[in-house]
Amino acid sequence: MKPNIDQTSFGSITIEGTLFEHDVMIRLGGQIEKRKKKLSKAVYGTSHILSLAEAKHVYEPAVKQLLIGTGQEGNVRLSEEAADYFKRKQCQVELLPTPEAILAWNKATGPMISLFHVTC
């Protein structure tokens, strides 16, 4: 079941009434997990560039759509390697500032996974 996202503000996101004060991923089955941004920080020194290692962690077989909330000001982007990886997997990636991404998530239908950055 796809959880509904209630709101976001700088540094937090509220999903189904639960406040998370860290970046989150929502898996295909609706499970909410803390984002493993260390995978990207180890390569780029920042969590604002999604690395190939993090892309491989985020991806789930058979998923064709990934929504990324790029932060309150839209600072997150894909590395070239991550973009190529998702392209090879035929997984469409949509990047939107987090406030816009939660609206898109709540309206979306069909199988989808997501990652939401809650700061910058």
Residue 12 above 90 pLDDT? yes
Residue 110 above 90 pLDDT? no
Contact at 8 Å (CB) between 106 and 8?
A: no
Q: Domain ranges in the chain?
A: 5-117
Residue 40 above 90 pLDDT? yes
Q: Which CATH number fits domain 5-117: 3.30.413.10, 3.40.50.300, 2.40.50.140, 3.40.1230.10?
A: 3.40.1230.10
Provide the 3-class DSSP secondary structure of residue 20: strand
Residue 1 above 90 pLDDT? no
The neighbour count for residue 6, using CB atoms within 10 Å, is 14
**Percent over 90 (pLDDT), the chain:** 96
Backbone φ and ψ for 8, nearest 5 degrees, come out as -140, 150
Q: What is the pLDDT of residue 55?
A: 98
Please give the angle made by the CA atoms of 10, 81 and 37, to the nearest 5 degrees: 35
Buried (b) or exposed (e) across 69-89, using 16+ Cβ within 10 A? bbbbebebebbeebeebbeeb
Q: Which residues pair with 7 in a beta bridge?
A: 14
pTM of the predicted protein model? 0.96
Per-residue confidence at 62, pLDDT binned at 50, 70, 90? confident
Per-residue confidence at 34, pLDDT binned at 50, 70, 90? very high
